[in-house]
Structure 1
Amino acid sequence: MNPTNYYTHEELICTGNGYKPSNLHKWGPGVRDIHALHYVIKGKGYFETNNTKYALKAGESFIIFPYTEAYYYPDPKNPWEYIWIDFKGDEALRLLSMTNFSNNNPIAPAFPWDLEPLFHIIENDNVKIFERERSNAKLRLLLSYYIEYYPKANVISQTNYVLTAKEYIENNYWKTTLTVANIVDFVKIERTYLFRLFKEATGMSISNYLASYRIKCACDLLKTSKLSIKSVACSVGYQDQLYFSKVFKKATLCSPSEYKKIYSNVIDG
């Protein structure tokens, strides 16, 4: 089976990578049907696309977008040495949209450290499925550094601040030590500003959203598991069973044991 057939067009797929030593090799003008991200290890070269010529040196990167005509070649006096990675998938578009790469801006400045080791993703052409999964994971890691060091301006919008806070709650609600301060620290914006954005987007405060999400998860456990009330409380972030029962009854108008009994009768009936 061809490993690439294992994936859908939506996933991030590493399709190949390579290395070119210092020589006078040139490519194009032509187009590719994938993304091709290049990293200059040393020397100099030139990249032409969309009627613009870019001069590149060690540490800098350039990307060829699918079906966009490109031409690249070395500086004759100091020919470049470079490495590249090819990839495709709808997820690639999402990740690249968080970087400053675009058809009109296909180059990235030098990073504060050498990226070359991260480009060594595929070691052979005959990769097994588990090796392909590792390659795709390494590719995602590589692109994450471009998102970190070469981000799109205003990539984190007001909506994303709220989504980040909600995702953090939904991933950590089970921790009995989770506080609103933890959530604010994770999102990394001013406390009152986040409070206002969150209230405008959800209609409730962060603390109320956390409590509501915990109760929702508790309801799911009470309906679908045989856990004790104490275990359910602990599973959704409450150390004190009595306090959990009080919060639960206020939210649902019945105690956890009553709720469990109602739904066990529904299931049994």
Structure 2
Amino acid sequence: MNAQTYSVASNPAQTENGTLRVLFAGESQTPPKHALGPKIYDYYLMHAIESGQGVFRTETDVYHLGPGDCFLIHPGQLVSYVSDEGNPWRYRWVAFDGELAGEQAKAAGFSPEHPVLHVTLDSQVPHYIAMIQSRFNSRRESAHMAAIGCLHLILADCLDHVERPAQLTMAEPQIQRTVKQMINYMTSQYAHPVSIEQMCASLGYNRAYLSRIFKKETGMTPVAYLLKLRIDQSKRLLRERPELSVEQVSASVGLTDPLYFSRQFKRFFGQSPTSYRQKIAGRSSSPDK
């Protein structure tokens, strides 16, 4: 049987409770029948089990947990947990709080009603918790920021590695999520000379399929949507940034050919970029009646 171990490191930064804060992290090879609770905590406390067996209890459910399991204790939740007598847990833990803590935990798949996730054994959650503990032990000023970064990686890893049954067909909500991903991609990348092919490759689907579901959901092809997005953004720049030339505005929205940009702008708004800007300038300089 492995020898009992226990170590913990607290956040060296004296930070106020903001949007997200990591409080401490630790690890333990628990002794047989090591028990805590029933008790409540006023912060979120995640455990990632590396080996061994044990039982985690909430007010409504009992979970028999082993390697690859993670359980998240929510603030105010009455819980208890105990290691197995013959094969006790080895686990790592991380505590966190903040205004966004609940939202982040829920996004990763945890809730008070479902506080347990089973991740695949190649999950990096224990590694990231160890990194937080190491950073806190270093006492560096950067430890607080590094810990928040690791916490985001932990929650992202939980979401990525949750074991779900394979889907033979894509459900409607998943189609909608994929279209939202496409829109988010184009909204964040429109200023660059990005292509629809690049977007499809980054999302892992072929162009024909994505074009079909995108048009079904939005009524537009991805090419048309991206062009409209760029022209709409150019209209805002022409209005808000009068010091920029038409060529600079065109480049700022990812259209490297000013003549093509001018033609498309006129197609959308019935006037050239220069005429639009002059009309806006005329309105702003007119005296109040």
2:155 aligns with 143
| Post-superposition offset of 1:268 | 4.5
- Percent identity between matched residues is 26
Change (3 A) 1:155 1:28: farther
Letter aligned with residue 161 of structure 2? Y
**1:187 matched to 2:195:** no
Residues 40 and 78 in structure 2, CA contact (< 8 A), matched pair in contact too: yes
What is the deviation of 1:64? Answer: 1.7
Q: Measured at CA, do residues 72 and 117 of structure 1 come closer, stay the same or move farther in structure 2, by a change above 3 Å?
A: same
Assess, with a 3 A threshold, how the Cα gap between structure 1 residues 12 and 26 changes in structure 2: closer, same or farther.
same
State yes or no: 1:119 paired with 2:136.
no
Q: Quick check: 1:56 aligned with 2:65?
A: yes
Asked if 1 retains the 8 angstrom alpha-carbon contact of 2:72 and 2:115, the reply is no
Structure 1 residue 198 displacement after superposition: 2.5
User: Which AA in structure 2 matches 1:256?
Assistant: P
Which stretches in structure 1 are left out of the alignment for 5+ residues? none
| Deviation for aligned residue 1:196 | 4.0
| 3-state DSSP of counterpart to 2:86 | coil
- 2:35 aligned with 1:18, yes or no? no
Q: How many equivalent pairs are there?
A: 264
Pairwise CA distance, 1:182 = 2.3
**Following the alignment from structure 1 to structure 2, what is the Cα–Cα distance between the partners of residues 126 and 118?**
15
CA RMSD of aligned residues (A): 3.0
Please say if residues 23 and 95 of structure 2, whose CA atoms lie closer than 8 Å, have aligned partners that are also in contact: yes
Q: Secondary structure at the match of 2:16?
A: helix
Could you tell me how far apart the structure 1 residues matched to 2:269 and 2:66 are?
64
Q: TM-score, normalised by structure 1?
A: 0.83
Change (3 A) 1:128 1:202: farther
The answer for the alignment partner of 1:68 in structure 2 is 77
Q: Deviations over 1:27-64 (max 9, x none)?
A: 11122233211012333322222454333333432222
In structure 1, the residue corresponding to 2:50 is in which secondary structure? strand
Cα distance change of structure 1 residues 169 and 107 upon mapping to structure 2, 3 Å threshold: closer
Return closer, same or farther for 1:228/1:60 CA change in 2, 3 Å cut-off: same
Residue in structure 2 matched with residue 231 of structure 1 by the alignment: 248
Cross-structure match for 2:168: none
Deviations 1:145-172 (Å, cap 9, x if unpaired)? 1111116777963322121111100111
TM-score, normalised on structure 2? 0.78
SS at match of 2:94: strand
Residue deviations 1:91-124, cap 9 Å, x none? 4444433444442461424422553220132544
Aligned partner of residue 77 in structure 2, secondary structure: coil
> Do 2:123 and 2:157's aligned partners in 1 also have CA atoms closer than 8 Å?
no
Per-residue CA deviation, residues 74-94 of structure 1 (Å, 9 max, x unaligned), is 222233222111223464444
Q: Secondary structure at the match of 1:258?
A: helix
